[in-house]
Amino acid sequence: MVNRIQSQFLNCFEQVEFHNMKIKPWCSILMNMKKLKTLSIAYIGMDEEDIKSICNMRQLTDLDVTGCSIGKGQGASTLVTFIDQLQQLTRLVISWNRIGIEGAKAISQLKQLTELEINQIGLEGTKIISELNQLTSLNIANNKMGKQGAKYISEMKQLTKLDIGTNQLGVEGVQYIRKLDKLTALSVFNNVIGFRGAMLLRKMTQLTELNISTNAIGDVGAKFVSDLPNLAILNLSFNSISYVGAQFISKLPKLTELNMNQNDLGNEGVKFISGIISLTNLSLQTTRIDEHGVKFISEKLKQLRILKLCENNIGDAGAKFLITLEKLTDLSLYSNNIGYEGAKAISTMKALTHLRIHGNPIGIEGAKEIYEQLKELKEYCLDQY
């Protein structure tokens, strides 16, 4: 009777997550979860027996083993031997495991995979993975593949989503990637592509999502990005863009999410950005704005739900402008010279569920106002008083 109840209970689980804890004591329990489809065990050290146990869970369709030290010892060879048992797997996340070429070869046998996140397999491993012609989503960031790796990836014509960040692509690498005409989501962050790389990407008008951060594209590059009319999500952080580039970006009609952190926009740049009335998620951290910039945001972007303005200088006056944004649920204001009066104003924003206001001299009374008035907060960061 007890065993039957235990079995019925374990069969209720379809998704399980373990992070930063030992998995070995749980392996036998996981093996008895016959309906388990999704398993995430990221950043857990795994030995050969653990890997073998996971590979025996043949019903899995979604597996995340990020940073589990699979490449240590005999882990990679164990993976090679047993991973082909996971024939129902359609999504695999195996980054930061140093599985090498042999691991890449083993994964290439999983012909049912449609989504894959992998790195630390080098150029030869990239070539092997590029032969998985059923993949529609690939994250191969941080792989040191260079332009030759980009050439291999460019043969994966079926891809609709690609993250190829931090791979030393350069402009030549982008020339290959732009040939992927089915892509709707592309991340090329930190690839030294400059404005010339942005010029090549301007032809990918089918893109709805683009991360081109940390590429020094400047205002000229921003102009080229503004030629992508279907963009809904755009990350332009760390790109040496001024108010001139912000004016170009303000012409994108479908943007709902924009990240322009660490650009020298100033209040004038924010004035242009505030004209994108479709925005619901905006991040302008470290962009040299004060209360005047916040005034532009508060007057035009009434539909915002997420706003990040950390490391600026909006002060109490800027904080008071924010209270007109009645749909905001997530607000980040770290290090903005906000005092008690600003904290008191923010404490009236009843829709907030997430607030980060540490690094501001709000004092004990300001913290008390927030604690007592914002009853719906699920996450908050305040300094200790």
Predicted confidence at residue 182, as pLDDT, reads 98
Q: Do domains 10-100 and 119-263 have the same CATH topology?
A: yes
Mean pLDDT, the chain, integer: 94
Chain-centre distance of CA 164, in angstroms? 13
pLDDT tens track for 85-126: 999 999 999 999 999 999 999 999 999 999 999 999 999 999
Residues 6+ apart with CB under 8 A from 162: 137, 138, 139, 140, 153, 177, 180, 183, 185, 186, 187
How far is Cα 303 from Cα 277, in angstroms, rounded to an integer?
8
Q: What kind of fold does domain 119-263 have according to CATH? A: 3.80.10
Predicted confidence at residue 7, as pLDDT, reads 55
Q: How confident is the model at residue 384 (pLDDT cuts 50, 70, 90)?
A: low
Q: How confident is the model at residue 212 (pLDDT cuts 50, 70, 90)?
A: very high
Percent of the chain with pLDDT over 70: 96
Q: Considering the entire predicted model, what is its pTM?
A: 0.94
Residues 6+ apart with CB under 8 A from 349: 322, 323, 325, 326, 328, 331, 374
- Tokens linked to 88: 């129902």
Chain-centre distance of CA 178, in angstroms? 21
pLDDT tens track for 158-193: 999 999 999 999 999 999 999 999 999 999 999 999
Predicted confidence at residue 5, as pLDDT, reads 44
Answer yes or no: is pLDDT of 26 > 50: yes
Q: What would the CATH number be for the domain defined by 10-100?
A: 3.80.10.10
- Tokens linked to 226: 């503004």
Structural domain boundaries of the chain? 10-100, 119-263
C-alpha distances (whole Å) from 371 to each of 56, 205, 339, 340, 365 are 49, 47, 15, 13, 10
pLDDT tens track for 40-61: 998 988 888 889 989 999 999 9
The H-assigned helical ranges of the chain are 2-10, 27-31, 48-55, 75-82, 100-107, 122-129, 146-153, 170-177, 194-201, 218-225, 243-249, 266-273, 291-300, 315-322, 340-346, 363-373
How far is Cα 112 from Cα 309, in angstroms, rounded to an integer?
43
